[in-house]
Amino acid sequence: MSTLKSKIMTFLTSNPAIAKINFDFNGVKIWPGAYKDVADAMDRGDILLTITRNIEAGASAAYNPETDEFKVSPSFDIRYPGSCAVLIHESTHAYLDRLSMGCLVVKTGEACGYLAQATFLELNGLDPLGNVADILTVAIGIARDTVIPGNYTIGPSDVTRLESMIVSNPLYHGRASAVFMSNGFTRGISAGLKRNFTAPWNVQE
């Protein structure tokens, strides 16, 4: 097991802030054990960890539900809280994939990711940064009022407000209302070939 993979798994199973990430967002339920599930899937190889510069929108990490691949950039540093916050966001996507819910709207999946990320940021006294600072600012307010105090269900107005911020952000222009397939770790032939082609050069074993 690689050092980075080991550190990511340790973070997902033991970081104290993750114990607070527990909410129901419009019927989608996220809880602390979700991140252990992701770590276990990574350990089994159901989720492939790769290091690559080819990450969407220049992010430091990303999860691809088609290939069940968790990508991190060479600059990703588990010791840096900003990297940890993005790790939580992308691990939330991996968990949503694991749930095998079928079609899930992008803005809902992203809202869950941002709310989990915002909870970590708020608990660690970190400011929202980057091209999604507007989304995270709203998500932090929701986390402060609901998730962190232990109020499990996110109210309809907060659901609408956070999803609206995602729709209006240029990063999600034209795709916020699209759907992605939550199908566990089932890969089609093309996705399997793509993953196998990527693995030898980028995976940290």
Cα 44 → chain centroid:
19
Q: What is the chain's alpha carbon radius of gyration, rounded to the nearest angstrom? A: 16
Mean pLDDT score of the chain, rounded to an integer? 89
User: Region 117-133: what's the mean pLDDT?
Assistant: 94
Length of the chain: 205
Q: pLDDT (tens digit, 9 = 90+) per residue, 66-114?
A: 889 999 988 899 999 989 999 999 999 999 999 988 899 999 999 999 9
User: Region 168-187: what's the mean pLDDT?
Assistant: 88
Predicted pLDDT of residue 132: 93
d(Cα 150, Cα 192) in Å, to the nearest integer? 40
The token pair that represents 162 in the structure block = 């956070």
d(Cα 15, Cα 33) in Å, to the nearest integer? 12
Contact 179, 103 (CB under 8 A): yes
State the DSSP code for 53: S
To 10 degrees, what angle do helices 81-98 and 106-123 make?
140
Confidence bin at 186 (pLDDT 50/70/90): confident
Contact 151, 176 (CB under 8 A): no
Stretch among 116-120, 140-144, 190-194 having the lowest mean pLDDT = 190-194
The token pair that represents 53 in the structure block = 């510069």
pTM of the model: 0.91
Element (H, E) at 95: helix 81-98
